[in-house]
Amino acid sequence: MNVVVLLGAPGAGKGTQAPLLATRLGIPIVATGDLFRAAVRDGTAMGQDARRYMDAGQLVPDEITVRLLLDRLGRPDAAAGVILDGFPRTGVQAAALDRELAGRDARVGAAILVDVPIDELVRRMSGRWVCRAAGHPHHETFSPPQVVGVCDLDGSELYQRADDRPATIRARMDQQLGALAEVIDHYRSSGVLRTVDGLQGIGGVAEAIGTTLDDAGIRPADALKEPSAG
Name the residues annotated as catalytic: 14, 89, 128, 161, 172
Query: Least CB distance from residue 195 to ligand ADP, whole Å?
Result: 15
Q: How far apart are CA 172 and CA 50, in angstroms?
A: 15
28 in helix, strand or coil? coil
Query: Least CB distance from residue 194 to ligand ADP, whole Å?
Result: 16
* H or E stretch covering 29: strand 29-31
Contact between 53 and ligand ADP (CB under 6 A)?
yes
Tell me the window of 86-94, 150-158, 189-197, 210-218 that interacts with ligand ADP (CB under 6 A). 86-94
Q: How far apart are CA 64 and CA 29, in angstroms?
A: 19
Query: Least CB distance from residue 77 to ligand ADP, whole Å?
Result: 20
> Do 15 and 31 contact (CB within 8 A), yes or no?
yes
Query: Least CB distance from residue 130 to ligand ADP, whole Å?
Result: 7
Contact between 131 and ligand ADP (CB under 6 A)?
no
Question: Whose CA is closest to 152, among 171, 133, 180?
Answer: 133
Q: Which residues of 169-204 are buried (b: 16+ CB within 10 A; e: fewer)?
A: bebbbeebeebbeebbebbeeeebbbbbebeeebee
Question: Whose CA is closest to 141, among 155, 123, 153?
Answer: 123
Running DSSP on this structure, what letter comes out for residue 61? P
Tell me the window of 22-30, 146-154, 180-188, 200-208 that interacts with ligand ADP (CB under 6 A). 200-208
**C-beta of 25 vs 205, nearer to ligand ADP:** 205
**C-beta of 142 vs 224, nearer to ligand ADP:** 142
**C-beta of 157 vs 222, nearer to ligand ADP:** 157
The binder of ligand ADP chosen from 27, 33, 193, 213 (CB under 6 A): 33
Binding residues (CB under 6 A) for ligand ADP: these are 8, 10-16, 32-33, 36, 53-54, 57-60, 65, 86-87, 89, 93, 124-125, 127-128, 137-139, 142-143, 163, 172, 201-202, 205
